[in-house]
Amino acid sequence: MVTTTLVQSMAPVLGAEPKLLILGSMPGVASLEAQRYYAHPRNLFWPLLADILQFALCDDFAQRYQQLTSRGIALWDVLAHCERQGSLDSAIRKQSVLCNPIIELVQQHPSIQRICVNGGTAWTLLNKHQPRLSNLVELVKLPSTSPAHASVSRAEKRAAWQHGLRTSPV
């Protein structure tokens, strides 16, 4: 028998006037243990964004968050909680999901004009559970930065993320 654990997302990282919201599905075990977004050392999120946005990548997550929020970029997850074994999105028990109130966040922060979605699972969950969101903001699907998503090369991920961020209103 496979044992699952109830995992809960973290609070959003928001600046004063976010223009772009990046949504993942649910943080992995390493991120939840550290209580830091994209804390797994092999996740490409921070190296890609530091490269694209031209900031120095340091170990201090408060500084990493500041680099994003100063550019009008916010972070959060589609799911508020779910049951899952390990870190893989494929292990999420679909019957256990509860979504974060993303529509309400966008309504409370009308400066958000675009949402970039990190990976296919986050995209599927967002569109299934929050279908009206596309009426409020532009949605962009980007390749997952997870080390589990190795079918897309780092160069391809970088190009997609650079395009997604460059053409954003940020």
Q: Which two tokens stand for residue 165?
A: 């961020």
Report the C-alpha gap between 99 and 131 in whole angstroms: 12
Q: At what angle do helices 61-69 and 45-53 cross, to 10 degrees?
A: 50
Per-residue pLDDT reduced to its tens digit, 81-119? 987 887 766 667 788 888 999 999 999 999 999 999 999
Question: 28 pLDDT exceeds 60?
Answer: yes
Tell me the whole-structure pTM to 2 decimals: 0.92
Phi, psi (rounded to 5 degrees) for 115: -120, 125
Distance of CA 34 to the CA centre of its chain: 16
Structural domain that includes position 118: 5-166
CATH at residue 21: 3.40.470.10
Name the pLDDT band for 32 (thresholds 50, 70, 90): confident
Per-residue pLDDT reduced to its tens digit, 6-17? 889 999 999 999
Question: 1 pLDDT exceeds 70?
Answer: no
Q: What is the pLDDT of residue 91?
A: 64
The single-letter code of the amino acid at 9 is: S
Quick count: other Cβ atoms within 10 Å of Cβ 69? 17
Q: Which two tokens stand for residue 102?
A: 């993303």
For the chain, what is the domain count? Answer: 1
Closest CA to 30 of 19, 21, 41, 20: 41
Query: Could you tell me where the DSSP H helices lie in 1-133?
Result: 29-34, 45-53, 61-69, 102-108, 120-129
Distance of CA 170 to the CA centre of its chain: 16
